[in-house]
A = this chain, B = another copy of it.
Amino acid sequence: MSANSILLDFSLDPARIIDEVSRKDIVRVCKEGLEKYLTGLKISYDMLTTDGYLCILSETGTGTIVTIRFFEQGLITINVEYYRKDGDEAKISFENMKMLENGLRIRLEAKRSKHLPPIKRGSSVDVYLTSSDERVIEYDIDRVLFDKRSEFQKIQIVHSRSLGNMLVLDELQNIAEADLIYTETLMCRGKEDYAGKEICILGGGDGALLYELLKEGPKMVVMLEIDEIVMQACNKYMNTICGDVLEKRTDDNYEIIVGDCMVYLRKYIKEGRKFDYVFGDLTDIPISDTPTGEIWDFIRTILESSFQVLKPDGKFMTHGNGVSCPESLRMYEDQLAKLTPKVTYTKSSAFVPSFMEEWVFYQVQREVANATESV
C-alpha cells in the first residue's frame, strides 16, 4: 500500500519547448500515449513557469494525477502519481512503462528518454536506503522484523530477499546476513593472527565481529557496546552472523560489557590494561566536508584513547567509508596523520553486499612499532 510515482523524461530540441504550438502538440502526444493506460485524461490546469511550462492532467473518476513539465533546456518530465492499494494491479506495469517510453520517444522524436521503476511512497516497509555518496538504492526488503527507537538510535531489522536479515540503524544499512565479507575484511582474516591475543571491540553490537574473532582462538575479547536493544534485536534475528555470543554475553574467552566505551577505555588506561588489537566498530566516519564536527572529535578521541590501551605493536582496526567518498577517506587519513605518537596505516577494501558498494577498512599502528619490527 503506497503512493506510486512513475517518472519518465524525454530530451528534445529546446526550440520545441518554447514554441506554444509545438508545446500543445507535445502535450497532446503525451496525453494520447498515456491514455493507453489511464482513462479519460483531462487537463485540469496549466501555467507558464520561469523556465518553461507546467500542465496538470487528471484521470476521470480516480485520483491519478499526471504532471507534465517543460524545461527550456530541452527536457520534458512526466510524473504519473496514484495511490496503489494492496492487491491492486499497477496502473502501468514495468513492461508497459518501457512501451510507453519507447512509443513516446519515437512520437516525440526525442534524443533520449528514460523511465524509472515506480517510486513507492508511504509504504510501511521502507525499501529505499542511501549509499555513502547519497545515491538511492531500492532494496528487496519485504518485511520489517524489528522496529524500535532506543535511547541512542532508531533500530530496525528488516528482511531482504537477497541479503537475508539486515540491521538498519538510523536509516543506515549496518550489516546483513550476507555480509561475512564485511567482518572478514575488517579483521583481515588470514592476514592477522589472533590466536592467544587480547582484543577490545568498541561497539560491535551486532555480535558478528566477536563471533568471527572467537573462531580464531584469541585469549580474551572484551566488547564494549552501549546499546542493549541492538544486541537484543541481533540476538533474536541475526543468529547466522552472531551465533550465541549475544545470548551468552560472557565465557572463558570473552565478555560483553554494556556501557559507554569511552568510560571503559579510560578505566583501562588508568589500570594500565593493554590489548593486542582494538577494533573501532562504532558509527560510520562522517561524510561532511570539514573535519570540525562533533563526530570527528569523537573519532579522534577514540583513536587517541585506543592507542593508550594498545601494546607497542598493537593494531587499531576499523571501517572507513565507501570508495565513492574519497574526501571522507582523505579526512580520516588527515586525522590519522595528526595523532601523536605518529602512526602508519594500511588499507583493505571489499564490496559489501548490504552496502551495495566497495568499502574501505583501516589497520593503524604506531610508527615506532613498525620501525622496531623492521629492524
Report whether B162 and A134 are in contact in the complex, using a CB–CB cutoff of 8 Å.
no
Closest chain-B Cβ to A8's Cβ sits at a distance in Å of 9
Q: Does A195 contact B (CB under 8 A)?
A: no
What is the bound-complex CA distance between A103 and B349, given in angstroms?
37
What residues of B have a CB within 8 angstroms of the CB of A323 in the complex?
Answer: 161-162
A122: interface (CB < 8 Å): yes
Once A121-B7, A135-B138 are accepted as A-B contacts, the answer to whether A63 and B51 lie under 8 Å apart by CB is yes
- A50 sits at the interface (CB 8 A): yes
Contact with A69, one of B73, B81, B136 (Cβ below 8 angstroms):
B81
Give the contacting residue for A7; candidates B61, B119, B131, B134; CB below 8 A: B119
**Binary CB contact string for chain A from 126 to 150 against chain B (1 if under 8 A, 0 otherwise):** 1110110111111110000000000
Instruction: Answer yes or no: A368 CB below 8 A from chain B CBs.
Output: no
Q: List 16 A-B contacts (CB under 8 A).
A: A3-B75, A3-B77, A45-B47, A50-B63, A71-B83, A73-B85, A77-B122, A79-B79, A94-B134, A119-B119, A131-B138, A131-B140, A133-B161, A135-B139, A137-B137, A178-B351
- Nearest first, the 7 A-B pairs at minimum CB distance are A51-B63, A135-B138, A75-B122, A9-B121, A50-B63, A162-B358, A117-B136
Q: Is A312 an interface residue (CB 8 A)?
A: no
A11 within 8 Å of B (CB atoms): yes
* Residues B122 and A71 in contact, CB atoms below 8 Å apart: yes
A68 to chain B, nearest CB (A): 12
Residues of B within 8 A of A127 (CB): 135
Q: Contact check: which of B49, B62, B67, B83 meets A67 at CB < 8 Å?
A: B67
Q: What residue of chain B has the Cβ atom nearest to residue A76's Cβ?
A: B122
Q: Contacting A65 at CB < 8 Å: which of B11, B54, B162, B324?
A: B54
- Mark each residue of chain A from 57 to 100: 1 if its CB lies under 8 Å from any CB of chain B, else 0: 01001110101010101010101010101000000001100000
A49 touches B65 (CB 8 A): yes
Residue A328 lies at the interface, judged by CB distance under 8 Å to chain B: no
Interface residues of A in 334-366 (CB under 8 A from B): 351, 353, 356-358
Given A114-B128, A162-B322, are A5 and B79 neighbors across the interface (CB < 8 Å)?
A: yes
A287 to chain B, nearest CB (A): 9
Contacting pair A130 B117 (CB below 8 A): yes
Q: Which residues of B contact A178 (CB under 8 A)?
A: 351, 358
**Which of B49, B51, B140 is close to A324, meaning CB atoms less than 8 Å apart?**
B140
